[in-house]
Amino acid sequence: MDIQQIIEKYQLSKEEGNVLFYMLDHKKELRSLGIRDIAKQTYTSSSFIVKIAKKMKLSGYSELVFLITDTTSILSKPTDIVDISHLIEPFCNLMSKHNDSMIMILGNGYSQNIANYMSEYFNLHGFRCTANSHLELLRLEDYTDKLLIMISNSGETARLTELLVQARNNKQDVITFTGNGASTIAKESTLTISTGTFKPTSFESNVPQLFFGLSLIYFELLMSKYLDSLNQK
């Protein structure tokens, strides 16, 4: 759990943040500790801790304990959701290689919404990132160090394919999130993260668009693994 991110999101005070840090440091025994125990150890009060939970949109202390004690166990078992085991090492290696690079996320249509979310996530965690919907404005002939992330359900988006070829000619790394692992973009990328959900019938009425939700799940799980690896160094 990223306590600092929670502090910023809910605009918690230093004292409120210290309570969360204490609870995280003692998460193994947290379920056996009552709210008064936590209040005593953090020099606060039961009502103060309840106020923290309410500011985080939780029902109270019990839900706060559940959040802190269960978040890590959920993330440590990604195969319960999707299998990322084969992606962790190559993804973390690419992110380490480009830790200080400009990250550019490209997508069209609905994929632009995913690109915007990823960009906000990267910026929140201190990376330099932009999500540019005006693809014609990109200058990929620029040889400055950058990592490209492309998002395409079909993997055959014409403009993205052109930019991918140009990027690879410039020896730039590209991570692609796609629903079609056999697509042109998938085959040409440095690392392909395929949800395997694309079919020719995907655009028919009432067909669930699983690609977008699954792409975010893959992204969240992989970034969690990478950020954990940074904390262990």
3-class SS of residue 173: strand
Mean pLDDT, the chain, whole residue set: 85
For residues 195 and 218, is the Cβ–Cβ distance under 8 A? Answer: yes
Q: What is the CATH number of domain 3-75?
A: 1.10.10.10
Quick one: pLDDT at residue 110?
Answer: 85
- Provide the 10 A C-beta neighbour count for residue 198: 24
What are the structure tokens assigned to 36, written together?
């008064």
In angstroms, rounded to a whole number, what is the distance separating the alpha carbons of residues 62 and 171? 52
Three-state secondary-structure class, residue 41: helix
Question: What's the pLDDT score for residue 140?
Answer: 58
Beta bridge partners of 103: 129, 147
CATH 3.40.50.10490 fits domain 80-231: yes
Res 78: pLDDT: 45
* Ranges in the chain annotated CATH 1.10.10.10: 3-75
User: What is the per-residue pLDDT for 157?
Assistant: 87
How far is residue 92's CA from residue 18's CA, in Å, rounded to a whole number? 30
140 closest CA partner among 186, 177, 184, 173: 173
Where do we find the tokens 């995280």? 24
User: pLDDT (tens digit, 9 = 90+) per residue, 53-101?
Assistant: 999 888 888 888 888 886 544 444 444 467 898 999 999 999 999 999 9
User: What pLDDT is attached to residue 142?
Assistant: 62
For 81, counting Cβ atoms within 10 Å of its Cβ (0-12 exposed, 13-18 middle, 19+ buried), the class is: middle
Report whether 53 contacts 59 (CB < 8 A). Answer: yes
- The DSSP H or E segment spanning 158 is helix 158-169
Task: Cite the residue boundaries of each domain of the chain with CATH code 3.40.50.10490.
Answer: 80-231
Measured distance CA(141)–CA(16) in Å, rounded: 48
- pLDDT for the residue numbered 202: 55
Q: Which residues of the chain have pLDDT under 50?
A: 72-80, 137
pLDDT for 180: 92
